[in-house]
Amino acid sequence: MSTALQEPEVQETPNYLNAEYGWKSWLFTKDHKRIAVLYLISISVMFALGGVFAMLIRLELLTPQGDLVNSDTYNKFFTMHGVTMIFFFLIPSIPATLGNFFVPMMIGAKDLAFPRINLLSWYIYIAGALFALAAIVMGGVDTGWTFYTPFSTTYSNTFVITAAVGVFIAGFSSILTGLNFIVTIHKMRAPGMTWGRLPLFVWANYATSLIQVLGTPVVAITLALVALERAFHIGIFDPAIGGDPILFQHMFWFYSHPAVYIMILPGMGVISELITCFSRKGVFGYSFIAGSSLGIAIIGFLVWGHHMFVTGMSMYAGLYFSLLTMLVAVPSAIKVFNWTATMFRGSISYETPMLYAFGFIGLFTIGGLTGLFLGTLGLDVHLTDTYFVVAHFHYVMVGGMVVAYLGGLHFWWPKITGKMYPEGWGKFSALLVFAGFNLTFFPQFIAGYLGQPRRYHAYAPEFQVLNVMSTAGASVLGLGFIIPLIYFLWSLKYGKKAGNNPWGAKGLEWETTSPPPTYNFETTPIVTEEAYAYAKHEEAHVG
Amino acid sequence: MSFPLWPEAASALATDVDHLYIYISLVSVVMCILIFGVIFIFAVKYRRRSDSEVPEPIHGSLRLEITWSIIPFLVMLTFFWWGAKIYFYNAVPPPNAMDVYVVAKQWMWKLQYPGGQREINELHVPIGQPVKLTLASEDVIHSFFIPALRIKHDVVPGHYDTMWFNANKPGRYHLFCAEYCGTEHSGMVGWVTVMTPADYQNWLAGGGQSGTMAQLGERMFEQLGCSGCHLENGKGRGPSLRGVYGSRVQLADGESIQADDAYLRESILNPNAKLAAGYRPGLMPSFQGQVTEEGILQLIVYIKSLAVATTPGAPTARIPSLLQTPTLQRVSVARLATQPNGGTQ
């Protein structure tokens, strides 16, 4: 193709991608959009790495004997799968990429409040990821992503400290991003962009930022204590030297349960944007969706003990944690009902992002409902630490968060790159993800109720049929993730020009060019209407 | 290849848990049908017919928001209530339960019976007899999980945990370690054999044991030199242990404490932690590292036997006498759930 050599950039309008060239212009950038792209590349690498571990796990579990790798290697596979996916993909995923790119644009700001700190947070993330990679390359970690004591502090012979340091460092990246968002949303909204007019994606990122800032220090302290006990035998968690292993679990889950909401709230924010755009209709119950994000952020801090119902915790504490777990389900239910009501009398179209939104509602609803099974005390006694739990949190984390992330990526890809991806392939891979996901994880609910424990390298032969289904599904799911990677890269060169607003969406980010200029807007926008004012579009022209 | 979709249920509790599971599943299915059905109808009915159509916005409805917040929450409260009842039932072993002591270590289960029988990765129990397991760990956290009985409890080093069950169906059922514990975690599995009382008696008789747990504990009590100070007549350097188990002990700091398994264990391993009133700190050495978790359990069973020996009858008569009881009271879930005593650590 000789036409491709004609440097089409020459004709393009100035934008953040062609403003500067060379690797220095990327590695020293202070533009939130470029930093978002840096994050996008890095978390994609970590997602691929975590995905490779997932496939190795599923291959091993094809047969009950544990014959592909030895048990130590298997234990390292699921640990590294969990550590890379949770700390280096899911937690940064939407806030650091789509949030970083679009929170400032959606509120009409030129950038985040602290552009240098934003770049710093990416470098901190990379430093943390390098420690995690070093732990893998040196020989791996076998504690499970939960680092339970005293196994992690005294008994494991693997690179626990290296991995813990990696997670510790990455935590600061999360804290800084959260801080940056909070200050930006408070101080840098365009004239007229009141709190009541904020897009729901911004509200979701705001709630997420609160958890990041308040919760992450606790897990950092906890992992630092693990490293200290391991290195210097200070008796904190190991009972043989005067500690208490249950203390670790309280501290760990005090962060790691809210962390679940760090992972899912931004996804919910994306879904609010997708449902309104592809229903071409203002959102139903704006204040309830926005408020429920804050409700989840607050109540989410009070339910950590539901991970510990069989540890010998006081049964009265169990009552409290179970009741609050039921309560935290209410704001999530409110969101699902309001999204459904938004579609009522809408004008619904079925582009790829909307397919992901449908998928999200279906999978997240199942993930949420199965959370109630686990929040129910007497039932959790049987289900905890079985494949039921594995299925449940994958329905929330993958069926919810990853599907929302893919939906958001397809929705904003034209804005980020200025190019369209092939719609047919988009729809096809969205269906693959949905089908593959269900085939992978639904059988695990059944295996879990049958009693198959999680983190088993070899398992009882009667569980094999369900495990073969899971592995088959994982292959389909993997394909569903690889296809978008290919066509997104393809679209950078061959994709059709997107135009400023290919979906006819509302929101300030769609009023500027695609890709946006370095400072986002030619002139600071002035906001005169509520979010998602699709019907007002006509009136605005008339008046 | 067998391909079960539902686990066996070998106790009344397991059946109750199944009913709760079916109930929540049905509610969930109804919720899914409602939500997905409505979305499907909307998606078809309100599909975009022309590119120029602009639907009227609907801002919301407070009445709807309240309805779909309160009603699901009330339904969830029924889950909560039923689950809590089962949880409380699990937490309180009936007083007539037979004791079995479990010591977990990487990567095996070691079980001992008060009669002195010992097993590895096997648990034999009769039907119709509540069995209380006292769980201790020598190293990391494990979790004792019997899917057919729908119960599981973590085995935490430094703690004594208890769980109990009353099996009602003879058979061989899986025993799994459910808390990840290192290399051979998935090999830390075994079998629970539930037998008729007659078979169980035969099994008990077949075990060649070197003495009951209390006798083993008494021997150790002498070997470790405990008997040199804890004289029965109370005139030794340490207090007499006769009648101590289950009593309230006055502590040196003015507090008092129930002398239970956990207190006795702590006093053996760390005597100064909760010093009995009238004795000076440092008098008794720590036995940390000199006695295994199984040995500590034998010592405790021995000390326990000193508490009941004041009444006529041999201390070890406890188990056989229980087994002679043909029918054991079935305490209803509801009744136990209202008893707030015990169960906590």
Do A330 and A273 form a contact (C-beta atoms < 8 A)?
Answer: no
CB-based contacts of B335: which residues, under 8 Å, 6+ apart?
A: none
pLDDT digits (tens, 9 = 90+) for A472-522: 999 999 999 999 999 999 999 999 999 999 999 999 999 999 999 999 998
The span from the CA of B342 to the CA of B345, in Å, is: 8
pLDDT given for residue A127 in this prediction: 97
pLDDT given for residue B322 in this prediction: 34
Instruction: Determine what percent of chain A is predicted with pLDDT higher than 70.
Output: 96
Q: Contacts of residue B84 in chain A, CB cutoff 8 Å? A: 318-319, 322, 377-378
In the block, residue with structure tokens 């699901």? B72
Local confidence band at A185 (pLDDT 50, 70, 90 cut-offs): very high
Subunit contact A453:B89, Cβ cutoff 8 A = no
Whether the CA torsion B156, B162, B166, B170 is positive or negative: it is: positive
Q: Contacts of residue B6 in chain A, CB cutoff 8 Å? A: 449-450
Mean pLDDT for chain B?
Answer: 85
Mean pLDDT for chain A?
Answer: 93
Subunit contact A378:B83, Cβ cutoff 8 A = yes
Do A84 and A53 form a contact (C-beta atoms < 8 A)?
Answer: yes
B4: pLDDT strictly greater than 90: no
Amino acid at A245: P
The span from the CA of A409 to the CA of A91, in Å, is: 16
Closest CA to A370 of B89, B31, B13, B3: B31
Local confidence band at B293 (pLDDT 50, 70, 90 cut-offs): confident
Subunit contact B186:A459, Cβ cutoff 8 A = yes
In the block, residue with structure tokens 């992901």? A356
pLDDT digits (tens, 9 = 90+) for A408-434: 999 999 999 999 999 999 999 999 999
Range of lowest pLDDT (A39-43, B37-41, B209-213): B209-213
DSSP code, position B275: P
The span from the CA of A292 to the CA of A203, in Å, is: 10
pLDDT digits (tens, 9 = 90+) for B12-38: 999 999 999 999 999 999 999 999 999
Closest CA to B89 of B20, B156, B27, B144: B20
B311: pLDDT strictly greater than 90: no
Residue of B nearest to A324 (CA): B80
Do A515 and A415 form a contact (C-beta atoms < 8 A)?
Answer: yes
Local confidence band at B282 (pLDDT 50, 70, 90 cut-offs): confident
pLDDT digits (tens, 9 = 90+) for B200-229: 998 888 765 678 888 888 888 888 888 888
pLDDT digits (tens, 9 = 90+) for B62-108: 999 999 999 999 999 999 999 999 999 999 999 999 999 999 999 99
pLDDT given for residue B289 in this prediction: 82
| Mean pLDDT within A329-357 | 95
pLDDT given for residue A175 in this prediction: 96
Predicted TM-score (pTM) of the model is 0.89
Omega within 30 of 0 (cis) for the link into A422: no
Determine the straight-line distance between the first and last CA of chain A, rounded to whole angstroms.
49
Q: Mind listing the domains of chain B with CATH numbers?
A: 7-49+56-209 (2.60.40.420), 213-308 (1.10.760.10)
CA distance B2 to chain A (A): 6
pLDDT digits (tens, 9 = 90+) for A135-168: 999 999 999 999 999 999 999 999 999 999 999 9
| Mean pLDDT within A239-250 | 92
More confident residue, B197 or B323: B197
CA distance A91 to chain B (A): 24
The span from the CA of B194 to the CA of B93, in Å, is: 18
Q: Contacts of residue B20 in chain A, CB cutoff 8 Å? A: 376, 378-379
Instruction: Determine what percent of chain B is predicted with pLDDT higher than 70.
Output: 88
The B residues from 94 to 153 touching A (CB cutoff 8 Å) are 106, 139-141, 143, 145, 147-148, 150-153
CA distance A250 to chain B (A): 14
B336: pLDDT strictly greater than 80: no
pLDDT given for residue A500 in this prediction: 93
Residue-by-residue DSSP string for A158-226 = S-HHHHHHHHHHHHHHHHHHHHHHHHHHHH-PPTT--GGGS-HHHHHHHHHHHHHHHHHHHHHHHHHHH
CA distance B82 to chain A (A): 8
